[in-house]
Amino acid sequence: MKKIGIMTTGGDCSGLNTAVQRLYRAASLRGWRVFGILDGTDGLCTTPPKVIEFNEETLPIESARLAGSFLHNGHANALNFETAVEHGKIEKFNQKLRESLLELKLDAIVLIGGNGSLSLAWCNKEIYNGLQLVCIPKTIDMDIPLTDKTIGFDTAVQQLTSFCDQLMMTARSHHRWFVVQTMGRDCGQLALNAGIAIGANAILIPEIKFDTDSLISHIKKSFIDYGIILVSEGISLRGHSGRPADMISRKLTAAGIVNRTAFPEHTQRAGDTVASDRILATRMADCAINAIENNETYVMTAIKDSKCITVGLNEFFNAGEISDDPRIPGVQTSDAFVSPENPLLQIAVNMGIYIGETK
């Protein structure tokens, strides 16, 4: 009888609980025992490790639609990769993770995480020696290489779209523009997709250079005097500091354009999981369990050409843009970004949305 562990790490998002519940269901049908590691790597740093064994009542099917992670994703001030490097304890930290996994006597572990978590798993793969490691990509940023979809993205787009839909009505009432700052870090996928959904007047993302004078001219020429300007949190404005939405807002105000800023913040990572994310989580859970059954290891589930497949973690890592992790000295992460060939960019232009200085 196989024993598998499930761990969620990094930021939370909708779809995590669906993936966890479906993993348990598929594994239990095979007669396997399933253990949930609580609080991510925090749970592996305690003695004994913080785990629960799943049964039919642990995570009921009706709760699997909820946002966040039933297993939790860790404490802000606990020892983790970031704080371990900061305090010179990374070797001790890695050793403790390894010891805890050996103590649990697992055959396999499913790690559900973002690009940072998956990059760390590959760069510290010795922690998982003797275990099958299968990763499932989740992030509202959609910045993970080699997969066309990540768990949580569709729900985040819907959450952001709903937020802007409500603002649009008050914008119309007051003949006012709203500058809405989205999450996404250095990737503009969330802003781009939500912007297309709501019919934004402008979408500013890190991957496309923009000119504030062109933006202002575009808004002034608009056939209406209200609307939404979506600003991804990763953009920069030379010579200015502060939150990106505030920087753009000040420029608009100086040009005589009445506007307000709005920050949906963590509501983008909340909300009942939409159907497409539930389906994606189920497909990836099924793929992960099949990978364990087929003795695969150091792999990630991925959607490519509408098929759910596994790709090597080495392939994932080398396929993206590798950069130094800004929070963990000496550690690198692999990132994906909005491609210049993304069809939504041209669609935005065709729909009269200012997207930046595109060719």
What does each C-alpha distance from 91 to 39, 96, 200 come to in angstroms?
A: 20, 9, 48
pLDDT the model gives residue 74: 85
Per-residue b or e along 3-35, where b marks 16 or more CB atoms closer than 10 Å to that residue's CB = bbbbbbbbbbbbbbbbbbbbbbbbbeeeebbbb
Is residue 353 scored above 80 in pLDDT? yes
pLDDT the model gives residue 330: 75
For the chain, residues classed under CATH 3.40.50.450 are 3-152+273-319
CA 84 to chain centre: 23
pLDDT the model gives residue 97: 95
Task: Give the right CATH number for 3-152+273-319 from 3.30.379.10, 3.30.360.10, 3.40.50.450, 3.20.20.70.
Answer: 3.40.50.450
pLDDT the model gives residue 87: 79
Residue 320 CA to residue 143 CA, distance in Å, equals 9
Residue 335 CA to residue 320 CA, distance in Å, equals 5
| Active-site annotation holder among 39, 42, 141, 277 | 141
Model confidence pLDDT, tens digit, residues 63-108: 999 999 999 988 877 777 888 877 788 888 999 999 999 999 999 9
> Residue 240: what are its φ and ψ, rounded to 5°?
-130, 150
What does each C-alpha distance from 265 to 137, 181, 252, 270 come to in angstroms?
A: 22, 8, 22, 10
pLDDT the model gives residue 83: 81
pLDDT the model gives residue 328: 78
pLDDT the model gives residue 81: 82
Residue 302 CA to residue 256 CA, distance in Å, equals 47
Is residue 94 classed exposed, middle or buried when 0-12, 13-18 and 19+ CB atoms within 10 A define those classes?
middle
The number of CA neighbours under 13 Å toward the Cβ of 79 is 16
Q: Give the mean pLDDT of 302-315.
A: 98
For the chain, residues classed under CATH 3.40.50.460 are 157-269+340-350
pLDDT the model gives residue 241: 84
pLDDT the model gives residue 174: 96
Name the 3-class secondary structure at 13: coil
Is residue 111 scored above 70 in pLDDT? yes
Residue 39 CA to residue 73 CA, distance in Å, equals 5
pLDDT above 70: percentage of residues in the chain: 100
Name the 3-class secondary structure at 44: helix
The third-level CATH classification (topology) of the domain covering 157-269+340-350 is: Rossmann fold (3.40.50)
pLDDT above 90: percentage of residues in the chain: 88
211 is known as an active-site residue = no
Check residues 20 and 1 and name the one with the higher pLDDT: 20
Is residue 147 classed exposed, middle or buried when 0-12, 13-18 and 19+ CB atoms within 10 A define those classes?
buried
Residue 24 CA to residue 6 CA, distance in Å, equals 9
- pTM, full prediction: 0.96
Residue 145 CA to residue 187 CA, distance in Å, equals 12
What does each C-alpha distance from 338 to 35, 57, 138, 186, 236 come to in angstroms?
A: 37, 41, 17, 10, 16
Average pLDDT, the chain: 95
Model confidence pLDDT, tens digit, residues 169-215: 999 999 999 999 999 999 999 999 999 999 999 999 999 999 999 99
Is residue 168 scored above 70 in pLDDT? yes
Is residue 359 scored above 70 in pLDDT? no
Residues counted in the chain: 359
